[in-house]
Structure 1
Amino acid sequence: MELTWLELFIIVLASFRLTRLLVYDQITQFIRSPFFDEVEEEDEFGQKETYLVPKNRGIRGFFGQLLSCHWCTGVWCAIFICALFFVYYSIAFPLLLVLAVAGLASIIEVIVQKWLED
């Protein structure tokens, strides 16, 4: 199967959006929470700040480290997206297209927000 530039663009955007979804978005917090500990610290102004720190050991520590790094998660998301694309094309393409559209929309939103700030 030959990959077109448009399909590559869709795969790239879908991988980008899935990575952001897993690493940063609030809606997937329940997926990340078993792999992190909450650490609360007080800053110099007496305000309490909460940080998420990956668990130290075992499989939870491994996945905590993975989910705290968008570069690492991005590689695994790209592998997953490519496998879906090449193995289950007819089923995967609509899902990848939705992720790609959402990814491009999020990029446009960041650009618009930046433009409005200036």
Structure 2
Amino acid sequence: EDTWVLCISRSDLCDRLRGRRELAAAVISALYRSFTRRMQQVAVHEAEDRREAEDREAVAQAFIAAEFSASPEHPKMSCPDPLTLASPPSMLLLPPTLHQQEVMLLDDVP
């Protein structure tokens, strides 16, 4: 497809088309068709790019999942207990502060 670039000012175009109804309609129609064709090309190109990106992401996720499941350091979890997941692990509990220790000592005094 040949591509032509038309550079003309609006006032010059109006002067050329004034009094030429059919020519004006043809120019406007051609501009509209050209614009819509270009927008369709851009939309198709973006859809192809998006599809390729999604395919790459799916391959990467499958590769990561395969590596994770094959790793001996990460045992497979069939269905973890929701209550176990809700409670914090004991290693994350902080030791009592000095103030808490003093209160605990005072509670022991009769």
Kindly indicate which of the two structures has a greater share of residues assigned to strand.
1
Higher relative contact order by CA 8 Å / sep ≥ 6: 1 or 2? 1
The alignment's TM-score, normalised by the length of structure 1, stands at 0.26
The alignment's TM-score, normalised by the length of structure 2, stands at 0.28
